[in-house]
A and B are shown apart, each in its own frame.
Chain A
């Protein structure tokens, strides 16, 4: 029987000719990632392990992006702990304020992940790198510790769901809308323990930023990973960003899938996930009149240059609605600089938005845009759980950058057509 794309990557990293769904394997890791919240816990576990140093200082990335620039003394202590560890072990890929970006935007941009890699990260959105044709998945701090010490991790080989994407998306439909549509269709546990493999001729119409946003949210359907085939778009991206050697894996034609879903991208509409689960989706025409207090444009899902361009395109020459706080957070320093050079930051500031240095901040209710009781936000982030962005009685509506920008102008959840 054939293997899925994920299974082929795992087999190669386990030194096995083939693997089957359900099989327990030990795989070699190409990269182990942690951030300021998860690394200190992992470092504590490593100390207990009585090992001397890390398996490979080039293959560890420590990215201080969550509560940074340090929001309080306790967060500063976490960052200090991670920094001391990184310096002591001479970790090549250590990033703090000034160089830092949101980890899942930064690693592809720095060329640290390429097609065919196996990556674990102590952050659930580590699944983002599936956009590049890599196997990557989120783990906890203990797995990160074991990975840093040994360069290996155990996995249960996942079965897979196949999503055949066809057709060309309409003007305002982005990768975010596609993945919200999929999560709405299969539910927040629809891909539990499984791979989500995307395929089909519609992928040609999805940019790398679209794909990164989609793979990023595989975890919101419970998925172990989300993965895209490697095409010209991927290869061009890797050539621009990385010097690492990549390997292209393709699913076998006779690979077995638990389910196959065919989605006509041309039929999709801008989609919004209502509180308090990413599966509570409605298309923009079904939303109704929902007034908002805040808009956040950023995060590991949608803080990339195309996201900022889409938002600026809508906000250009307009003003943010009175009473709405709009916070724009470029995901990396390079994206921030590019946004300045392209005039996007000027557009945002002239419209009345705040533009921040890269941070995960508000997405997880850390800092830089916390909601009060009863307040509502439209966010281009990935989770709208109870209390995610602040008070347990606040609400988060997940949407694309275009919908978030249009909503910023009208002061209620709106499609781009309402303001363009």
Chain B
């Protein structure tokens, strides 16, 4: 499994309130949520993001509320992977459960810049910055997590078993 796309880069402590503000939680349809994804931190994100693009951020990405609407809105935006130094724990769990690939890699998260073209190999955990010509070793997904992501989430994975 691989992902590749253009990077949208953010800083520390990107919280779930800016990923999807609570004023949109009354309509949990993924396509509807995607329209407002990252709105309070990057008003143009929904307009500019293309299928396959990658979010890169620093520490504690996804902190705050447990709203699963946050990873759902990112996934529905077409984002193929989120790379961060660290993730908040509920966000991490929710992302796996809904089948949004996320990788912790402090070196990559620090070095990769906005607009870089990046490729991620989920089997090896390798991250390639094609713009800079650099390579990083992220945490590879255990097999069962890859299966959940391939199945598009925990529920389908359980159903398919």
> Are B17's CB and A139's CB within 8 A?
no
B27 adjacent to A74 (CB under 8 Å): yes
User: A66: which B residues are within 8 A, CB to CB?
Assistant: 25
- Identify the 5 closest CB pairs spanning chains A and B, nearest first: A140-B94, A140-B68, A74-B26, A142-B97, A189-B60
Task: Decide if A189 touches B88 in the complex (CB within 8 Å).
Answer: yes
In-complex Cβ contact of A140 among B17, B28, B90 (8 A): B90
Chain A residues lying within 8 Å of B15, measured Cβ to Cβ, are: 383, 385-386
Contacts of A139 in B (CB 8 A): 66, 90, 93-94
Assembled-state Cα–Cα distance A188/B72 (Å): 23
The answer to whether B26 and A222 touch across the interface, beta carbons within 8 angstroms, is no
Bound complex: CA of A49 vs CA of B154, how far in Å? 10
Q: Which residues of A contact B94 (CB under 8 A)?
A: 139-143
**Complexed CA–CA distance, A42 and B21 (Å):** 19
What is the chain A residue whose CB lies nearest that of B18?
A: A386
Say whether, besides A37-B67, A365-B23, A385 and B90 are in contact (CB < 8 Å): no
Most buried by B among A50, A74, A145, A387: A387
Closest to B156 in A: A48
Q: Is the CB of B17 within 8 A of A386?
A: yes
Number of interface residues of B (CB under 8 A): 38
Query: Contact at B153–A142, with CB atoms within 8 Å?
Result: yes
Q: For residue A74, give the distance in angstroms from its CB to the closest CB of chain B.
A: 4
Interfacial chain A residues near B71, Cβ < 8 Å: 140
A192 and B61 alpha carbons, distance in the complex (Å): 11
Contact across chains for B41 and A386 when beta carbons are under 8 A apart:
yes
Residues on A with C-beta less than 8 A from B9 are: none
- Do residues A222 and B88 form an inter-chain contact, with CB atoms below 8 A? yes
Query: Can you list, as one digit per residue, whether each of B131-161 has a CB less than 8 Å from chain A (1) or not (0)?
Result: 0000000000000000000000111101100
Contact B66 A50 (CB under 8 A): no
From B25, B27, B63, give the contact of A222 (CB < 8 A): B63
Given contact pairs A37-B69, A365-B17, a sample of 10 additional A-B residue pairs in the complex whose CB atoms are under 8 Å apart: A38-B67, A38-B68, A49-B158, A66-B25, A71-B26, A138-B66, A138-B90, A139-B93, A189-B60, A364-B65
Cross-interface CB contact of A383 among B17, B153, B159, cutoff 8 Å: B17
B65 touching A48, Cβ below 8 Å: no
Contact B66 A192 (CB under 8 A): no
Please determine whether A140 and B159 come into contact, CB atoms closer than 8 angstroms.
no
Please determine whether A385 and B155 come into contact, CB atoms closer than 8 angstroms.
no
Which residues of chain B from 71 to 99 have any CB-CB distance to chain A below 8 Å in the complex?
71-72, 86, 88-90, 93-94, 97-98
